[in-house]
Amino acid sequence: MRIRVAKHDQAVFASYFTNISLSRNLGHDLTNILATTKLELQTMKELVKIPSSEFTQVHQQLLRESVEGGLRSAELLQNIVDIYRSFSHVKQPRYERHDLNELVESFLKTFKPTVSGAVQLEQDFGQEIPPPIVEPRLLKLALFNVLSNAMDAIRRAQTGENPSSPRVCIRTGYNPEKAYYEIVVEDSGAGIRDPQGRLLENTECNRIFEYGYSTKSERSEGLGLHWVKTIIEQFHHGSVRAENRPEGGARIVLRFRSMETEEAKIGAENSQHA
């Protein structure tokens, strides 16, 4: 007997596994940040033991840096939690007009402290981009998943036989003729591969956005980039594309429309009445 699972049940299962994946990733990110915070607190603990008569300018500088580091970690903790909370806004998106470059730069300030100092994070922002109407929290969540994926690819490349100089470049742009905005993320990682390590052809690369697909050999839910596809296509009426770069590494292109354009309005109305 063939059992057919209703779409509602599939959505429930997807939500269940998404929550598991989110909890795992959030725990990993918070553990890394808390480890840094603990170091700062230990440094402060040792410094306050020093008698005031022996407290030098060097000690003052160390204390100042430790306090500033602790404050940065606290801010980063809040920002990371806010990013994960973005999932709760899927049911009630709130569209706002934003300067695209400022939005991306604001996100990168949050993301940079999680990046290894060896990784070169480059920005190549387009000029005179008209501010689009977007769901900023969901767009940041999409960026978080894309950049996290790029960092994973770089880590895998560094453990390979010919490690390259770790680099990620984030570009922004606008096409006035077709009225779409673009965020492009390029990395120098291991490229887009299947779980067995085979480099995918560019005609196959978009499979990474499919629900449940993972490029990792270990067990993984494969939800992060699927959420990117959902956020861009369903909430911003755009498209996503992945490809391997000829010089090595991968490129992910996010194209989306301002939610004031006629095509976006029509799409939004259709989704509301569906």
Beta bridge partners of 185: 170, 252
Q: What DSSP letter does each residue of the chain carry, written as one string?
A: ------HHHHHHHHHHHHHHHHHHHHHHHHHHHHHHHHHHHHHHHHHTTS-GGG--HHHHHHHHHHHHHHHHHHHHHHHHHHHHHGGGGSSS---EE--HHHHHHHHHHHHGGGS-TTSEEEEE--SSPPPPEE-HHHHHHHHHHHHHHHHHHHHHHHTSSSPPPPEEEEEEEEETTTTEEEEEEEE-SS-SB-TT-PBPPTTTGGGGGSTT--S-SS-----HHHHHHHHHHHHHS-EEEEEE-TTSSEEEEEEE--TTSHHHHHHHHHHHH-
What values do phi and psi take at 167, rounded to 5? -150, 140
pLDDT tens digits, residue range 195-228? 888 888 989 999 988 876 666 544 444 457 888 8
Cβ neighbours, 10 Å, residue 109: 11
**Least confident residue range of 34-38, 104-108, 170-174, 220-224:** 220-224
What values do phi and psi take at 173, rounded to 5? -165, 175
pLDDT value of residue 62 = 87
Q: What residue segments make up the domains of the chain, in order of their start?
A: 7-88, 97-273
**CATH of span 97-273:** 3.30.565.10
pLDDT value of residue 172 = 98
Per-residue pLDDT averaged across 121-148, rounded? 92
**Least confident residue range of 18-27, 161-170, 188-197, 228-237:** 18-27
* Residue 268 or residue 104, greater confidence: 104
What values do phi and psi take at 55, rounded to 5? -80, 110
pLDDT value of residue 25 = 56
pLDDT band at residue 266 using 50, 70 and 90 as cut-offs: very low
